[in-house]
């Protein structure tokens, strides 16, 4: 008790004493309240007040913590804040130094998703007028996904089966974790700079909200929006929706569905050719029959009857020409189908995917999983993964030539 009776304290002394008592006696706490007086300083620090019906508490969240937030705090938002009670000596005020901040009643990622979706919707990024039509017969398709996931295998197999003449170009990317969103956005931009691609498929297999989050990042949405190449989004399973789905020109529920949407089946195209052939032949026959009907009608009149022999000769000539025309059409269509099959066979041989059939493999350096194109990129003792048509092998480099 006597320590409280000695001499007068200076303001700094009593403030430091209060600071010591508060900061040592109160553990890290969770506090629920409503945000007011919110300021996001240019330094990256957050300053705001938490309040309830009767009291208020000043709060600060330093930049190294605030930059990890997925959502944007706003005045009037009810939140849960975890932190430590500290004293700001200069102002003689106690405050909460916030370590974690999350919305009350809804997950942080869910709120961030809704906030970004509404903001981009207001900017018009989801408007149908910005959607581009998919090419009916693409010759080259770019794929933005992981080189080791199931998505690229499904896409390559389905396109190879349905349209083996279509070239598939993979731009390997991260699809989750730190740096994934920037990698995906850069891949889309690179395909646009390359320019020799008719269609893009951007996606990955299923996962949790956290695992799919790269496709909810604003930088990916804006890369899709500014792409001059039509984009199909193919993220996760049927129930998964991402921001990328809303911006893309078409959404596919799975990577396999994206491949089916991208190319028409070979059997379907052959059926279409036969249908067009039949329609052309039917059209010619219909016009010939109409002409014959008109000629016969004219032949029944007395004035024309004396020209009957001449007309019959002309009709015979018409029959001959119609037969020749039909035979010519058949010959042209058969020739086109033969050329089509020949080109399709050549494209299948040249396809990078057929390299596996000829004994080639893909070499990736571990742990980065980068594709090795030249031996000079390797060093002795490097670990590599060799990917074959079926299965893979892990090897250690003993020498480099």
Contact between residue 180 and residue 146 where contact means Cβ atoms under 8 Å apart: no
Is 272 among the domain residues?
A: yes
Average the pLDDT over 300-311 and give the result.
62
Q: Total domain count for the chain? A: 4
Q: What is the pLDDT of residue 110?
A: 83
DSSP helix/strand/coil, 399: coil
Residue 162 lies in a domain: yes
Mean pLDDT for 396-400 is 88
In this structure, are 182 and 293 located in the same domain?
A: no
Judged against a pLDDT cut of 80, whether residue 268 lies above it is answered with: no
Distance CA 35, CA 167 (A): 54
Per the structure block, which two tokens stand in for 194? 């390359």
Tell me, yes or no, whether 99 and 231 share the same domain: no
> Is a pLDDT exceeding 60 seen at residue 4?
no
Specify the DSSP class assigned to residue 225. H
Q: What are the Cα distances from residue 393, in Å, to 5, 156, 273, 369, 386?
A: 79, 21, 45, 13, 5
> Would the CA dihedral through 387, 388, 394, 400 be positive or negative?
negative
Boundary residue ending a domain (104, 125, 154): 104
145: tokens are: 């996904």
Highest mean pLDDT range out of 36-45, 60-69, 138-147?
Answer: 138-147
336 found inside a domain: no
Lowest mean pLDDT: which of 120-129, 139-148, 238-247, 342-351? 342-351
Q: Is residue 6 domain-resident?
A: no
Residues 249 and 114 in one domain: yes
pLDDT of residue 256: 94
Per the domain annotation, does 333 fall within a domain? no
Q: Let me know whether 256 and 287 are in one domain.
A: no
196-235: pLDDT as tens digits: 999 999 999 988 888 899 999 999 999 999 999 999 999 9
Q: How wide is the angle at C-alpha 295 spanned by C-alphas 292 and 297, nearest 5°?
A: 110
CA distance 161 to 10: 84
Which CATH number fits the domain that encloses residue 225?
A: 3.40.50.10550
pLDDT level of residue 1 (50, 70, 90 thresholds): very low
| Domain identity same for 114 and 260 | yes
Does residue 30 belong to any structural domain of this protein? yes
Cα torsion through 64, 68, 71, 75, rounded to 10: -20
Q: What is the pLDDT of residues 104-114, one digit of tens each?
A: 776 778 888 88
In DSSP terms, 85 is beta-bridged to 96
Q: Do 153 and 237 share a domain, yes or no?
A: yes
Q: Which of 104, 131, 158 is a domain's end point? A: 104
- CB-based contact 91:40 (threshold 8 Å): no
Q: Say if 390 falls within a structural domain.
A: yes
Q: Is the dihedral of CA 368, 370, 375, 376 positive or negative?
A: negative
- Whether 86 and 60 map to the same domain: the answer is yes
CA triplet 112, 115, 116: central angle to 5 degrees? 85
Structure tokens at 326: 């039909």
Final residue of a structural domain among 255, 283, 298: 298
Which DSSP symbol is given to 8? P
Whether 304 is in a domain gets the answer no
List the domain range (segments joined by +) for residue 371: 355-397
Q: Which residue has better confidence, 182 or 340?
A: 182
Could you tell me if 259 and 115 lie in one domain? yes
The pLDDT of residue 264 is above 70: yes
> In which band, very low, low, confident or very high, does the pLDDT at 304 lie, cut at 50, 70 and 90?
low
- 371 and 363 Cβ atoms separated by less than 8 Å: yes
Average pLDDT for residues 151-169, to the nearest whole number?
A: 94
Percent of the chain with pLDDT strictly greater than 90 = 41
**Same domain? 163 vs 275:** no
pLDDT confidence tier of residue 303, bands split at 50, 70 and 90: low
Mean predicted confidence (pLDDT) in 337-343: 74
Same domain, 144 and 65: no
Classify residue 208 as exposed, middle or buried by CB count within 10 Å of its CB (0-12, 13-18, 19+). Answer: exposed
Verify that 24 and 167 share a domain, yes or no.
no
Q: Which residues have C-beta within 8 Å of that of residue 326, sequence separation ≥ 6?
A: 281, 284, 285
Q: Is 158 found in the same domain as 245?
A: yes
């Amino acid at each position: 008790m006597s320590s409280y009776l000695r001499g007068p304290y200076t303001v700094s002394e009593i403030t430091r004493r209060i600071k010591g008592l508060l900061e040592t006696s109160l553990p890290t706490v969770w506090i629920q309240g409503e945000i007011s007086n919110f300021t996001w300083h240019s330094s990256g620090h957050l300053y705001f007040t938490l309040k309830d019906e009767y009291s208020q508490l000043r709060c600060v969240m330093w930049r190294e913590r605030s930059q990890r937030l997925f959502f944007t705090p706003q005045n009037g938002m009810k939140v849960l804040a975890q932190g430590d009670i500290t004293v700001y000596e200069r102002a003689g005020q106690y405050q909460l130094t916030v370590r974690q901040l999350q919305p009350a009643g809804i997950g942080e990622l869910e709120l961030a998703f809704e906030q970004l979706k509404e903001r981009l919707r207001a900017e018009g990024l989801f408007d149908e007028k910005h959607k581009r039509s998919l090419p009916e017969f693409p010759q080259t398709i770019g794929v933005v996904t992981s080189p080791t996931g199931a998505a690229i295998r499904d896409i390559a197999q389905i396109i190879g089966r349905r349209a083996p003449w279509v070239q598939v170009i993979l731009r390997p990317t991260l699809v989750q974790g730190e740096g994934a969103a920037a990698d995906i956005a850069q891949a889309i931009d690179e395909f646009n700079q390359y320019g020799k691609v008719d269609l893009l498929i951007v996606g990955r297999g299923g996962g949790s909200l956290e695992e799919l989050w790269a496709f909810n990042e604003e930088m990916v949405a804006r890369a899709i929006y500014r792409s001059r190449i039509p984009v199909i989004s193919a993220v996760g399973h049927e129930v998964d929706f991402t921001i990328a789905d809303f911006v893309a020109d078409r959404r596919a529920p799975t990577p396999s569905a994206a491949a089916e949407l991208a190319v028409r089946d070979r059997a379907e195209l052959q059926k279409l050719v036969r249908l067009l052939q039949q329609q052309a032949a039917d059209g010619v026959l219909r016009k010939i029959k109409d002409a014959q009907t008109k000629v016969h009608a004219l032949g029944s009149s007395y004035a024309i009857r004396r020209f009957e022999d001449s007309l019959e000769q002309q009709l015979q000539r018409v029959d001959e020409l119609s037969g020749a025309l039909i035979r010519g059409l058949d010959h042209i269509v058969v020739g086109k189908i033969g050329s089509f099959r020949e080109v399709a066979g050549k494209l299948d041989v040249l396809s990078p995917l057929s390299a596996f059939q000829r004994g080639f493999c893909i070499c990736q350096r571990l742990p980065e999983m980068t594709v090795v194109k030249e031996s000079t990129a390797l060093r002795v003792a490097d670990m590599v993964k060799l990917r074959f048509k079926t299965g893979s092998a892990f090897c250690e480099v003993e020498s480099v030539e």
